[in-house]
Amino acid sequence: MPGFDFGISKEEPMALSPSVLVTGATGLLGRAVYREFQKSGWFVIGTGYRRTRPNLLRCDLTDEEAVRGLLQEYKPDVIVHCAAERRPDVVDRHTQAAINLNVHATSTLAREAAACGSLLLYISTDYVFDGRNPPYGEDDGPNPLNVYGRSKLEGEREALRHCPGALVLRVPILFGEVESASESAVTVLWLKVQESAESCTLDHCQQRFPTDTRDVAAVCRKLAERARQDPSVRGVFHFSAKEQMTKYEMAVAIAQAFNLPSNHLIPLTEQLPASTLRPTNSRLNCSRLELLNLSVQPRPFTSAIADALWPFTPDKRWRQTVFH
């Protein structure tokens, strides 16, 4: 009895196309990656865990036997490993569970990928850096400030150690099509923008580079396609949008995009003590991707955030997006 639910058959029409397994395909980035490969003609196998969907497989990636069974069954050409616990405060509260997923499951996946000859693309984060000396190149020394960043760095090392030719793609804070505004740390600001009757303070110290998941997904596909042709394309890559913004600036831009008032938004210019440390500015230097012509032009923040949030405007509420 396999430890995952079969939902799709390898005999489906695109069986002759290259195949990709997307872990975390129910999540914010995984949904965009799934769609990007699918629209480019790949045979796509997506896995989720608690959020089940038609056409996706349910697989607990912390179950080694389940991972082995999954890879032996599908032997994908490429694996894009998006699944992770990416909320730093949750990682602090449930550290062992997060390490099981972010580190140990990555290790298992990397070993099994190597055994099957699959190319592994591991999604990582700018939180592997301490944010004190930006911008950060791919070879700059990581120094994560919190447990989440450390677990993702360990995950990188497991991927590279156990799977020859593995790719690591580090990305900053993400937004995109969301199932609820609170799903991403960017779209959640929509709730603050709407509460215009009350003043609201927002961080104006930490510099961020909000990046659209559709752009990251396109980079994942380009990287995978190139690496399949050229084995010298391996190791660590960075991708990021270029617009530098604090949470306060993002909220003001959201208000402007929807012609809403922003007077109630107050910039908080001093860093308050926080239980989970976060880097002040972990801007990524993305030149390695750019030199290989594997980057994409990031979408401008204002139009991309409007794409993500219009389903939540009052008259469009009935059209909230649901994947699959």
Q: Which residues bind ligand NAP (CB under 6 A)?
A: 24, 26-30, 48-51, 59-62, 82-84, 86, 101, 123, 125, 152, 171, 173-174, 184-185
For residues 133 and 182, which CB has a smaller minimum distance to ligand NAP in the complex? 182
Measured between its terminal Cα atoms, the distance across the chain in Å is: 27
For 74, the token pair is: 């599908």
Distance CA 84, CA 93 (A): 15
For residues 43 and 49, which CB has a smaller minimum distance to ligand NAP in the complex? 49
Residue 149 CB, shortest distance to ligand NAP, in Å, is 10
Minimal CB distance residue for ligand NAP: 27
* Concatenated DSSP letters of 119-139: EEEEEEEGGGS-SSS-SB-TT
* Concatenated DSSP letters of 237-255: EE---S--B-HHHHHHHHH
What are the residues whose beta carbons fall under 8 Å from the beta carbon of 238, sequence distance 6 or more? 126, 136, 137, 138, 169, 170, 171, 284, 285, 286, 288, 289
Residue 300 CB, shortest distance to ligand NAP, in Å, is 19
Distance CA 5, CA 116 (A): 20
Residue 232 CB, shortest distance to ligand NAP, in Å, is 25
Residue 5 CB, shortest distance to ligand NAP, in Å, is 12
Residue 100 CB, shortest distance to ligand NAP, in Å, is 8
For residues 61 and 233, which CB has a smaller minimum distance to ligand NAP in the complex? 61
For residues 148 and 229, which CB has a smaller minimum distance to ligand NAP in the complex? 148
For residues 82 and 286, which CB has a smaller minimum distance to ligand NAP in the complex? 82
Are the C-beta atoms of 200 and 264 separated by less than 8 Å?
A: yes
